[in-house]
Amino acid sequence: AGLLFSVGALLSPSTVQKWSMASTTGAKQASTIPELVGDGLKAILFDIDGTLCDSDDLHYIAWNEMLMEAGFNDGKPIDGEFFKQYISGQHNQYIMDHCFPDWPLDKQVAFFEEKELRYRTAAKGNVKALEGLMDFVKWAAAQGYKTAAVTNAPRENAEVMIEGLGLQNFFDCVVIGAECVRAKPNPDPYVMAMRFLGVDANECMVIEDSPAGVKAAAQA
């Protein structure tokens, strides 16, 4: 589940679910969110992988297959701790520089592009929203908050997930880490999203699930 981050506060992963499931009228959410982030909230910025949908298993399978085929870790599977520390939430070039630092750039790019193709093939038709997300989305839309999806995933992946969730018309913008000067854990993607939305950091709430994403949001 995603972590909820706002300026000055890092809340538990279940917070969004509690807000969205507490009341079908939205009264509970409307009274709770201002208490936690203040009355100046104007925008909500969402990560995608692991925050809108639980896609980590599909990524883990794709990375494991590719890494074993390439002989990484003596051809043995990576464990969950390695995935969490070095892969989850990171941009592809960082992962490749960690796993295969001696490979030429064109070989690295070909590797992670094949990995992403395998992920998209597995993800199509299998994207499921995290529990409570759709209620929260409806509530946020009703409040008139500006919204952005901010992700290190390639744009093609982001489109597969957003379309699979039926959220094509929900986000005011989609910011891709690789299309910024620097991806997460640097703050550039969140800074770009705030500029597009015309809001300041103290007017935003960020929903994240990875250390890299939380670090990016905290520095934005």
* Catalytic machinery residues: 47, 49
Euclidean distance between CA atoms 23 and 17, whole angstroms: 11
Rg over alpha carbons for the chain, rounded to the nearest Å, is: 18
Query: Measuring CA to CA, how many Å separate 73 from each of 70, 77, 78?
Result: 9, 7, 7
Nearest in space to 50 (alpha carbons), one of 11, 10, 2: 2
Single-letter residue type at 206: V
User: How do strand 9-11 and strand 3-6 relate by DSSP bridges?
Assistant: antiparallel
Q: From CA 41, how far away is CA 184, in angstroms rounded? A: 23
